[in-house]
Amino acid sequence: MSRDNDAPVGVFDSGVGGLSVLGEIRSLLPSESLLYVADCGHIPYGEKTPEFIRQRCVIIAEFFRTRGAKALVLACNTATVAGVADLRERYPEWPIVGMEPAVKPAAAATRTGVVGVLATTGTLQSAKFAALLDRFATDIQVVTQPCPGLVELIETGDLTSPLIRQLLHSYVEPLLEAGCDTIILGCTHYPFLKPLLREMIPASITLIDTGGAVARQLQRLLGQRDMLASGPPQPTQFWTSGDPDNFRNILPVLLEASDSVRSFAS
Ligand code: DGL
């Protein structure tokens, strides 16, 4: 096996949201060794300027490159719309997987022709999202709903309190009133709210997120380059620009416990 196959894959998000993607990658590609940066010191990305997020993307990408990462996954919709084009330009040879709200599969799935999108303000206001709608949403109605405040609560490990219940309800209600039968979870934090969301919406409504698709795309890109790892399962290493103790405490709630949480000081 060449050195490239054993090299790690860098995965990052503004915080814990990308753990929903990390879980999918680990199920599909258990042999890959994964490095995860949670940029909790700068959360929420959804309310930051694209330029600020682009800078964070480069800082984190450089960190992964110094650790020999063979590929990069932006496990964050907001970082992707702001930064993926710039990263691909800077590192043309590096396999980079980004993510965007699943408008195309939702357009195929809807029967009422009305699709809802829950995402951050930054994602919904971006040119990349507008282009996505132009491309795939010509025959359907798309109702968008920014969700300020949700990410901050999820970051504390709150997935069930009356406060988050009330906030989520206020964001979902307009989608139900508009007749959506398909709801896109366009932020990687939101899949952690699926159980709560299921209590609020009819069972007939389809929820779509893209963590699984991201894992499959990573598998494709590495496979095309003959760079897939094939050894025994590898533990993930974590860094956070926030408080490592907080992150260590929330990991078992969202994924699993890990002793390997370090401070990301950049
Ligand atoms: N998890 C991120 C996403 O997928 C953004 C959360 C934030 O606003 O920081 O968009």
7-31 pLDDT, tens digit each: 999 999 999 999 999 999 999 999 9
Task: Tell me the mean pLDDT in the region 78-90.
Answer: 98
Angle between helices 77-90 and 50-66 (to 10 degrees): 60
Residue 1: pLDDT band (50, 70, 90) is very low
With the most atoms of ligand 1 within 8 angstroms of its CB, the residue from 20, 21, 76, 129 to mutate is 76
- The rounded Å distance from CA 18 to ligand 1 centre is 8
Fold match, 3-99+212-263 / 103-209: yes
- For residue 84, give the nearest of 70, 74, 93, 95 by alpha carbon: 74
- The rounded Å distance from CA 100 to ligand 1 centre is 11
Tell me if residue 187 is catalytic: yes
Contact 184, 158 (CB under 8 A): no
* For the chain, domain boundaries: 3-99+212-263, 103-209
Structure confidence by residue, pLDDT tens digits, 109-136: 999 999 999 999 999 999 999 999 999 9
Task: Tell me the mean pLDDT in the region 172-188.
Answer: 98
Query: Domain 103-209 carries which CATH code?
Result: 3.40.50.1860
Class of domain 3-99+212-263: alpha beta
| Residue whose tokens read 């508009």 | 178
% of the chain exceeding 70 in pLDDT: 99
- For residue 115, give the nearest of 58, 64, 178 by alpha carbon: 178
Token representation of residue 104: 């195309």
Residues 6+ apart with CB under 8 A from 216: 28
Nearest atom within ligand 1 for CA of residue 47? 8
Residue 256: pLDDT band (50, 70, 90) is confident
Residue 241 carries which DSSP code? S
